[in-house]
């Protein structure tokens, strides 16, 4: 059976989703033929989406107040990554938010008479290294204490066909089945670079000092934005576009598609306070739908495990894939690409000619960090085009271009007094490394 097709069983497997977010895991599992029968989610905007997109499915509010789970074949738990993510607090598995995984174990213990066949846990790749892998050890121990065999695999969402380099840990555990048959029955390997287009490159404009999140023919991992609800869409460099259009970002509906959702999936929160920032956060925190669909196919029809490996020594670093039970742990030889589904090139998914240009404030701050960091990840033309993007809007050197003088010009770009001052600080720091080719006066 194909890994992306559902079981032919007349009775579909049932799903109970904890920490459900906007239902990326559940939507993908449904596309594989499973049926969602229970959801639990605390955040109001996410609940609004779930209520609209999964009508009639019981939706509990707080996992801490749930006494027992309903009978289900699969229990999913994409527990909060806030304390584990590189973009978050990195407080670790004992943090206020990520520590809620303990509620999953509590509910499994409470329902020992009707345990699910499968438990699925999803979280950020950083959990394999944070605190010397303590988060991984905590999850593994929690599963083993309940008598589960477990396996995990770090996967890249690009294998499902979306141009987003998003690497996540997928845990699968069972007391009755071999979880290796769900995670290690498919192996495609990363495609060669020549299969990727070279007309668009994704990056984080919020970075620049230590990294860029540089991605060819893809965007880096979509993020949830700032704690103030300010969206932080990734940047896209389009080297063949006209100057002023070479640095753009995707629209919200395109970000939904980059996660495998139908455009408008988070629309139920439109009209609420800070709706744009809220929708970006919802999308950035979600599970890529195609990843869940692949997994659902394998939960319904496990295959023969292809991965072999060796036993891990005590204290050894967690690899990209592993399995184990009863205190023994084995590394698996598995890539982040179980399949290579038809790929949607970045320039075909994002309407680049109509995409919003990266704002001047964002570009100025990014260019400052890019100069200070001296990163060599991107080609030199990239830095030149960032400078050119500023110059094309008359902001090559603050105060030396008549088109950029005064608050009126800045206000025309949506910048008030506070935004003007922030931009001036960013620009003043960036001016020293602007190249002469951009007509800025340079070094």
CATH number at residue 322: 3.40.50.150
CA distance linking residue 52 with residue 241, whole number of Å = 39
Q: What is the pLDDT of residue 394?
A: 74
- Residue 7 in domain: no
93 and 108 together in one domain: yes
Same structural domain, 323 and 391: no
Q: Are 324 and 357 part of one and the same domain? A: no
| 63 & 119 share domain | yes
Q: What pLDDT digit, counting tens, does each position of 68-113 carry?
A: 999 999 999 987 655 545 555 555 555 555 578 899 999 999 987 7
Domain match, 81 and 213 both: no
Q: Is 304 within a domain?
A: yes
Residues 32 and 99 placed together within one structural domain of the fold? yes
pLDDT of 277 > 60? The answer is yes
Euclidean distance between CA atoms 394 and 407, whole angstroms? 13
Beta-carbon count within 10 A of 160 CB: 27
Is 8 part of a structural domain of the chain? Answer: no
Residue 116 lies in a domain: yes
Quick check: is 274 in a domain? no
Question: Distance between CA 64 and CA 79 in Å, rounded?
Answer: 13
For residues 132-160, give the mean pLDDT. 95
Are 118 and 250 contained in the same domain?
Answer: no
Task: Work out the angle between the directed axes of helices 417-430 and 360-373 (0-180°, nearest 10).
Answer: 30
Instruction: Compute the average pLDDT of residues 416-424.
Output: 46
Evaluate if residue 127 carries a pLDDT over 70. yes
For residue 225 the two structure tokens come to 């934005």
Q: Quick one: pLDDT at residue 367? A: 93
Q: For 327-339, how does the pLDDT look when each residue is reduced to its tens digit (9 = 90+)? A: 999 999 999 999 9
Domain extent, residue 399, equals: 195-260+351-438
Residues 146 and 252 in one domain: no
Helices (H), 393-443: 406-411, 417-430
Q: How distant is the alpha carbon of residue 281 from its chain centre?
A: 10
Residues 298 and 394 reside in one and the same domain: no
81 belongs to the catalytic site: yes
118-124 and 74-77 as β-strands: parallel, antiparallel, unpaired? parallel
> Domain total for the chain?
2
What DSSP letter does each residue of 351-383 carry, written as one string?
-GGGSPBPPHHHHHHHHHHHHHHT--SS-HHHH
Is 338 inside any structural domain? no
pLDDT band at 402, cuts 50/70/90? very low
Q: Are residues 201 and 188 in the same domain?
A: no
Q: Which tens digits make up the pLDDT trace of 9-39? A: 569 999 999 999 999 999 999 999 999 999 9
Q: Which of 331, 361, 388 is the last residue of a domain?
A: 331
Rounded CA separation 330/315 (Å):
13
Which pLDDT value is given to residue 374?
A: 80
For 147: left if phi > 0, alpha if psi spans -120 to 50, otherwise beta; the answer is left
8 A C-beta contact, residue 73 and residue 13: yes
Which range (31-35, 112-116, 161-165, 437-441) has the least confidence? 437-441
Which of 302, 331, 360 is a domain's end point?
331
CA distance 81 to 128: 12
What was the pLDDT predicted at 4? Answer: 58
- What are the CA-CA distances from residue 232 to residues 19, 148, 165, 225, 284 (Å)? 23, 39, 16, 5, 10
pLDDT class for 414, splitting at 50, 70, 90? very low
Q: Could you tell me if 309 and 159 are in contact, meaning their C-beta atoms sit under 8 angstroms apart?
A: no
Residue 36 has phi, psi (to 5 degrees) of -80, 125
The reply to whether 201 and 303 lie within a common domain is no
pLDDT band at 230; cut points 50, 70, 90? confident
The answer to whether 211 touches 357, Cβ cutoff 8 Å, is no
- Copy the structure tokens of residue 290: 């195609």
pLDDT of 272: 82
Residue 341 included in any domain: no
Do 415 and 298 lie in one domain? The reply is no
Q: What does the pLDDT read at residue 93?
A: 52
Q: Of the given ranges (167-181, 295-309, 409-423), which has the lowest mean pLDDT?
A: 409-423
**Whole-model pTM?**
0.87
Q: What is the pLDDT of residue 297?
A: 98
Determine which helix (DSSP H) or strand (DSSP E) holds 248, and give its type and residue range.
strand 247-248
Given 331, 363, 384, the domain boundary residue is 331
Classify residue 134: in a domain, yes or no.
yes
Contact between 46 and 20 (Cβ < 8 Å): yes
């Amino acid at each position: 059976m194909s890994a992306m097709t559902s079981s032919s069983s007349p009775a579909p497997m049932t799903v109970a989703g904890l920490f459900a977010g906007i239902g990326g895991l559940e939507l993908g599992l449904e596309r594989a033929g499973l049926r969602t029968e229970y959801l639990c989610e605390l955040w109001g905007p996410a609940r609004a989406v779930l209520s609209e997109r999964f009508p009639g499915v019981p939706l509990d509010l707080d996992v801490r107040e749930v006494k027992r789970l309903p009978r289900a074949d699969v229990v999913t738990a994409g527990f909060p990554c806030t304390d584990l993510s590189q973009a978050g607090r990195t407080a670790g598995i004992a943090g206020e938010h990520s520590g809620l995984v303990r509620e999953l174990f509590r509910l499994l213990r409470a329902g020992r008479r009707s345990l699910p066949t499968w438990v699925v846990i999803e979280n950020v790749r950083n959990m394999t290294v944070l605190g010397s892998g303590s988060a991984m050890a905590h999850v593994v121990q929690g599963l083993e204490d309940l008598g589960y065999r477990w396996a995990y695999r770090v996967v890249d969402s690009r294998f499902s066909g979306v141009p987003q380099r998003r690497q996540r840990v997928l845990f699968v555990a069972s007391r009755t089945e071999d979880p290796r048959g769900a995670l290690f029955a498919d192996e495609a390997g990363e495609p060669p670079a020549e299969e990727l287009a070279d007309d668009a490159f994704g990056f984080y404009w919020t970075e620049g000092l230590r990294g860029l999140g540089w991605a060819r023919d893809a965007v880096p991992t979509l993020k949830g934005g700032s704690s103030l609800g300010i969206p932080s869409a990734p940047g896209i460099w389009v080297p063949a576009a006209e100057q002023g259009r070479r640095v753009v970002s995707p629209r919200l509906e395109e970000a939904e598609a980059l996660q495998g959702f139908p455009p408008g999936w988070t629309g139920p929160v439109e009209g609420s306070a800070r709706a744009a920032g809220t929708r970006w956060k919802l999308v950035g925190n979600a599970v890529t739908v195609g990843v869940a669909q692949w997994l659902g196919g394998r939960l319904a029809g496990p295959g023969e495990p292809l991965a072999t490996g060796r036993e891990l020594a005590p204290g050894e670093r967690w690899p990209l894939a592993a399995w184990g039970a009863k205190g023994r742990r084995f590394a698996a030889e598995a890539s982040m690409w179980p399949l290579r589904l038809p790929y949607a090139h970045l320039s075909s998914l994002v309407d680049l000619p109509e995409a919003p240009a990266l704002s001047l404030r964002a570009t100025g701050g990014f260019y400052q960090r890019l100069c200070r960091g001296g990163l060599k990840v991107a080609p030199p033309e990239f830095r030149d085009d960032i400078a050119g993007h500023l110059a094309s809007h008359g902001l090559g050197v603050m105060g030396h271009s008549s088109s950029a003088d005064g608050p009126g010009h800045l206000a025309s770009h949506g910048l008030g007094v506070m935004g003007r001052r922030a931009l001036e600080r960013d620009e003043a720091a960036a001016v020293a490394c602007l190249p002469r080719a951009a007509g800025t006066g340079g070094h």
